[in-house]
Amino acid sequence: MNLNPEFQRQLYLEYSEARLIGVPLVLWVVFSIGYFIDDHQLSDATARIALITYLLITLLWGARQTMDSILDEYREHTWDTQRMSALHPWELVWGKLFGSTAMVWYAGSICLLVYSLADEQAVTQPMLLIYCIAIALLAQSTSLLLALIMAQRNQYKSSSILMLALIGYLFAYKFTDISLFSTGRPIHLPNYTNQNWYGLSINAESFQQLSLVFTLFWSYVGNYRLMAQALGIRTRPWVWLVFLIFLIVYFGGLAPASSYYVALAGYAVCGVLTYIGLLAEPADVLRLKHLLDALQQKNWPRLAEETPIWVLSFLSAIPFALHLELSNHPIADLISLFHFFPVAILLLLLRDCALYLFFSFGGNPQRALTLTLLSAGLLYGIIPGILSFTGLAWLSALVFPLWADSADAAIICALLQTSFVLMLLYQRWRKKI
């Protein structure tokens, strides 16, 4: 049988007789605790322990395994061997995703089996199991995605696993109401009401299930695309654009039915994806040069390949910002102090991106994100706060334009800041190339 070679290699690494025997033995000891708590029977405590053990195993160990399936290749200098292979990106993705977690799923399925035997709520059980499996798959897939991004940035530490596991657990809690701490409360699915989407009343549970399926789908698509890029396959950003449109349509439906709120959803999605896109791709000083060269040579396919995805997201946000700027704002004042000036916010978004690139092109690109977050803290909070506190409110608007009284003033302030940072960025870029 011609197994996926990557899957087979991962199996070579994962399976051993000692592990096959050892894992059930350790789990048996763990479940015995529940058995004794439940007065020598399989009941609620055992079910809870089984489910929590399952989450710990699949979220912590599983996410760690998938992340290491990429990062180990870099650490051991074997990544070039994989890149030189004839394997399809998808083969590598699923081989790593399911091969590296084979033992995790072996242990996880024992936990789920014990849970099924101990849980007394037969009606909700199948759905809860499906949620648990989907959430674990999502955490592991996101972990692989994160590893591919980290590898692009030459960061090979697996420390972000804890964060992923925590997010996974929060997801699990949201979907299944599994609590680590509460006792005596049966594990159950939350009560669902109907969800309104573009005026359609959809069963909220079905909506949530579909959302989870789509999230899983897009995480696999993301993995595929990043793997293709890592293998040197030239890609154009169509998938990113489709993802962007999907999110706009998805979130647009959740807001009240009006063009304003759809535009607001589009604006928010493009804004968030601008930041995500910026962090997802390596900040390469030569990329802008290649982009400009392609533009000069009117080499459109190359231009599409070289355009960073954050630029696409940012450009997509412009029409939404203009639409919002020209509309009557139902949310003109966010809170009593701030105003909602869409174009000014867009300029601040560009400033933040330029700031991040400025630090990335500096002497220590590894610290670019930390320095950007620090600068954002100063620019969005500390400096305007101090200025406002000392009675210089007009000056604080210069630092944080959303404090300005009019949209024009906010745009001018934001424009000044953005131009200044872009100028700094240009000078650093010129020096680097």
Partner 1 sequence: MITVDKLVFEYPGLRALDNVSFHIPAGSITALVGPNGAGKTTLLRCLAALDQPISGSISIDGVDVLHHPRASHRLIGYLSDFFGLYQRLSVRQCLHYVARAQGIQQNACAAAISEVSRHLNITDRLEMRPGELSRGLRQRVAIAQAIIHQPRVVLLDEPASGLDPEARHDLETLFVTLQAQGMTLLVSSHILAELDAYCTDMLVLRNGRIVEQVNVRTQHNQQQTYKLVLAWPVADLATVLLAIPDIGILKIEDNQQALLQIPINPKLQHAVLKTLLALDLPICEFAPPAGNLQDAYLQTIKPKP
Q: How far apart are the C-alpha atoms of 411 and 112, rounded to whole Å?
A: 56
Q: Minimum distance from CB of 89 to partner 1 (Å)? A: 9
What whole-number distance in Å separates Cα of residue 34 and Cα of residue 43? Answer: 8
Q: Which letter does DSSP use for residue 197 in this model?
A: E
- Measured from the CB of residue 229, what is the shortest distance to partner 1 in angstroms? 10
What is d(CA 274, CA 261) in angstroms, rounded to the nearest whole number? Answer: 19
Binding mask 71-110 for partner 1 (x = CB under 8 A): -----xxxxxxxxxxxxx----------------------
Distance between the two ends of the chain, CA-based, in angstroms?
51
Min separation Cβ 368 and partner 1, Å: 15
Environment class of residue 183 by beta-carbon count within 10 Å: exposed (0-12), middle (13-18) or buried (19+)? exposed
**Cβ-based nearer residue to partner 1, 184 or 232:** 232
Please, which residue, 75 or 188, has the CB nearer to partner 1? 75
With CB under 8 A, what is the number of residues at the site for partner 1?
33
Element (H, E) at 378: none
Contact at 8 Å (CB) between 378 and 399? no
Q: Cα torsion at 295, 296, 301, 302 (round to 10°)?
A: -90
The answer to whether 428 touches 358, Cβ cutoff 8 Å, is yes
Establish if 170 lies at the interface with partner 1 (CB under 8 A): no
286 binds partner 1 (CB under 8 A): yes
Closest Cα partner for 314 from 361, 351, 356? 351
User: Cβ 272 to partner 1, closest distance in Å?
Assistant: 29
With CB under 8 A as the contact rule, the residue among 179, 234, 334, 362 that binds partner 1 is 234
> x/- contact string, 9-28, with partner 1 (CB under 8 A)?
x--xx---------------
Note whether 335 binds partner 1 by CB under 8 A.
no
Stretch that binds partner 1, among 5-13, 140-148, 247-255, 398-406 (CB under 8 A): 5-13
Q: What radius of gyration, in Å, describes the C-alpha atoms of the chain?
A: 25
Measure the CA–CA gap between 229 and 224, rounded to whole angstroms. 9
Interaction of residue 281 with partner 1, rule CB under 8 A: no
Residues of the shown chain interacting with partner 1 in the complex, contacts defined by CB under 8 A: 1-3, 5-6, 8-9, 12-13, 76-88, 231-234, 285-286, 289-290, 293, 432-433
